[in-house]
Amino acid sequence: MISFKKGQKFCFVGLVTLLTTNVMAGAVDLSGWVVNNHPGPGGSNWVVSGADNDTVLQTVNGNPTVFFDPVGNAQGTSLSGQITVETTGDDDFIGFVLGYDPDEINSAVSDFILVDWKQGNQGSFGGTAFEGLAISHVTMPGVGAFWGHDTVPPGVSEIARATNLGSTGWADNQPYTFDIIFTSSLIEVLVDDVLEISVTPDDAGLTEFDNGSFGFYNYSQSNVRYAGITEDVVPDPEPDPTPVPVPSTLVIFLLGLFGAGIARRGK
């Protein structure tokens, strides 16, 4: 005989709900995020807005700047939203930092990941910054290293360029949706629902990606808006990066058991 106590019924309903309902991503309140600026001209001006404080506009053309969550520990989560450069002036860097710790942009020794996207090729600081979307490992930040990237560490060492956007710059006043997955063993970047970057620690010569904060990044580019930012939890892909769906037959079987228990209690 199968029987259910009152508390057990609610636990069972909760289990069925968990099996049949997707967890929704939550809006990110950016009002508690903080700014780090690289020394030099320009500075930055990050202005938070939106009903849920989930949007921020950076208005200043200046040296590298990071707007990040000081709480850190972003591994195991994904960050999504929309990015738009709301000007036709300049053609420089927009993007993101992952695994960032406070003031790492100014530290002599750092360990974080940079995803940056430049609109056009441009020579400066003794090197050329190439248009396109790329991912790099930052170990010794400097204005020149952020500009031209490096082929080998230390510095801002490029790991990979995007599959489709690796040599394509962003367009003025064009909204792009983005999704960034960040775990200790995998980083993935999607633009407009297309997977552009997928790297492992081995690709960067690391044993694992360092934990730390999500953040937004601008360099020499004004009027960049990050809008509708949401965050969600993702499983670490080790050992199997492919999620296994719960079979519908299992849900039906559990519901059948639950119904049988209710019928017996009615008798």
Q: Give the model confidence (pLDDT) of 29-78 as tens digits.
A: 999 999 999 988 889 999 999 999 999 999 999 999 999 999 999 999 99
* Length of the chain (residues): 267
| Distance, CA of 251 to CA of 10 (rounded, Å) | 16
Q: Could you tell me the pLDDT band of residue 99, with boundaries at 50, 70 and 90?
A: very high
**Residue 84 structural domain:** 27-236
**266, part of any domain:** no
Amino acid 204: pLDDT: 96
Instruction: Answer left, alpha or beta for residue 118, where phi above 0 means left and psi between -120 and 50 means alpha.
Output: beta
Amino acid 264: pLDDT: 54
| Distance, CA of 138 to CA of 112 (rounded, Å) | 5
**47, part of any domain:** yes
CATH assignment of the domain containing 218: 2.60.120.200
Q: pLDDT at residue 16 above 50?
A: no
Amino acid 152: pLDDT: 85
**76, part of any domain:** yes
Tokens of 103: 């003031």
Amino acid 127: pLDDT: 84
| Distance, CA of 192 to CA of 174 (rounded, Å) | 11
Question: Which tens digits make up the pLDDT trace of 168-199?
Answer: 999 999 999 999 999 999 999 999 999 999 99
Tokens of 36: 């780090």
Q: Could you tell me the pLDDT band of residue 266, with boundaries at 50, 70 and 90?
A: low
Tokens of 170: 């962003």
**Higher-confidence residue: 12 or 153?**
153
Contacts of 13-22 with C-beta under 8 Å, sequence gap 24+, read 13/258, 15/254, 16/251, 16/254, 16/255, 16/258, 19/246, 19/250, 19/251, 19/254, 20/251
Amino acid 87: pLDDT: 97
Amino acid 247: pLDDT: 58
Amino acid 125: pLDDT: 78
Site of tokens 């707007």: 67
**133, part of any domain:** yes
Question: Which tens digits make up the pLDDT trace of 229-265?
Answer: 999 998 655 544 555 555 555 555 555 655 555 555 5
**261, part of any domain:** no
Amino acid 153: pLDDT: 85
Q: pLDDT at residue 112 above 70?
A: yes
Mean pLDDT of the chain: 85
> Taken in order 48, 50, 55, 61, is the CA torsion positive or negative?
negative
Q: pLDDT at residue 81 above 70?
A: yes
Tokens of 150: 């490096």
CB atoms within 10 A of CB 130: 17
Domain count, the chain: 1
